[in-house]
Amino acid sequence: MKGLSIFAGNSNPVLSDMISGYLAKPLGRLKVDRFSDGETQVEIQENVRKQEIFVIQSTCNPVNDNLVELLLMIDAFKRSSASRITAVIPYFGYSRQDKKVSPRVPISAKLVADLLENTGVHRVITMDLHAGQIQGFFNCPVDNLYAAPVIIDDIKARYPENLVVVSPDAGGVERARAYAKRLNAGLAIVDKRRSAPNKAKAMAIIGDVQDKIAIVIDDMVDTAGTLTEAASVIVDNGANAVHAYCTHPVLSGPAIDRINKSSLSSLVATDTIPLSEEAKLCGKIETLSIAKLVGEAIVRSYRGDSVNSLFV
């Protein structure tokens, strides 16, 4: 893979190092700093002419800083005559505004897609997009990876039987059904009403969770309102225990406090987003690494092999 170079921004250095280790390819030399007024400064410190570049950057908190950092890195590679630039974005920020849900609001996911393409991206590799249609916002190829293989292996190892997979809302039913099928488990749905962004009230359970180990599956946990409300209702309906799995541990605002006080026994998340210090101290939160999955996707993308076969 002599024609391949891997670079990483500041958003998730631990994951970037693990991907680099899996590929046995050191990260490229890149300076990402700040001018005295807070503007981002980027400088590539090695020759990338005619190289195929993979730049790893999650657009997580601080979202705007990490997004601008990614855009500036892409522009620097383009102006340094890289042959192709692939943005590896384990967590794609601004993905929740993917349509107009009320008058006079932006479609933020489309705007970010346009920014990336206009800056010079040729391909995007991301994971568990909040809405699948975001792939259609790009004119370049998008590989939307799934954390399911990593999560399912962990669930099978911990809880071999007596499972029911629970979707925390109606929007996640397709995801939960796919997990339930592969785990040979039952399926239940939490009927939820959302009064405002980041505010939810769980109402009832559709399905049987009595005397079961409930596994709540979601793509992201932000303020944890939906998750903790769901856990409470599941326990009230007779479940023996409630364990949650998610791909993106956003965990903002009161999330950690809610998780600590909730009926949840555990929350297992992948490392698309680095945990805050507060989250690391929470005894209920654990992480799984998706470094091998992303690393293998990079290799297959570079060689022109199928990425889809990773999930068959």
Residues 155 and 45 in one domain: no
In three-state secondary structure terms, 268 is strand
pLDDT averaged over every residue in the chain: 93
223 annotated to bind ligand = yes
Residue 300 covered by a domain: no
Q: Is the pLDDT of residue 194 over 80?
A: no
Residue 121 covered by a domain: yes
Interval 147-159: pLDDT, tens: 999 999 999 999 9
Residues with Cβ within 8 Å of residue 307, at least 6 apart in sequence: 143, 145, 297, 300, 301
Residue 298 covered by a domain: no
- For residue 295, how many other CB atoms are within 10 A of its CB? 21
Interval 43-52: pLDDT, tens: 999 999 999 9
Count how many domains the chain has. 2
Residues 61 and 132 in one domain: yes
Interval 235-293: pLDDT, tens: 999 999 999 999 999 999 999 999 999 999 999 999 999 999 999 999 999 999 999 99
Residues 49 and 85 in one domain: yes
Q: Which active-site residues does the annotation give?
A: 192
Q: What is the Cα Rg of the chain in Å?
A: 20
**CATH code at position 226:** 3.40.50.2020
Residue 22 covered by a domain: yes
Residues 132 and 60 in one domain: yes
Q: How many CA atoms lie within 13 A of 277 on its CB side?
A: 0
Q: Is-contact 165 180, C-beta < 8 A?
A: yes
Residues 180 and 74 in one domain: no
Q: What is the reported pLDDT for 132?
A: 87
Residues 234 and 200 in one domain: yes
41 annotated to bind ligand = no
Q: Is the pLDDT of residue 39 over 60?
A: yes
Residues 66 and 197 in one domain: no
Q: What is the reported pLDDT for 193?
A: 65
84 annotated to bind ligand = no
What's the rounded Cα separation, in Å, for the pair 284 and 111?
36
Q: What is the reported pLDDT for 200?
A: 53
Residues 133 and 187 in one domain: no
Residues 39 and 96 in one domain: yes
Residue 233 covered by a domain: yes
Residue 50 covered by a domain: yes
- Domain hosting 60: range is 4-145
What's the predicted TM-score (pTM) here?
0.93
Q: What is the reported pLDDT for 1?
A: 74
Residues 22 and 134 in one domain: yes
Residues 119 and 158 in one domain: no
236 annotated to bind ligand = no
Residues 174 and 226 in one domain: yes
Q: Is-contact 73 30, C-beta < 8 A?
A: yes
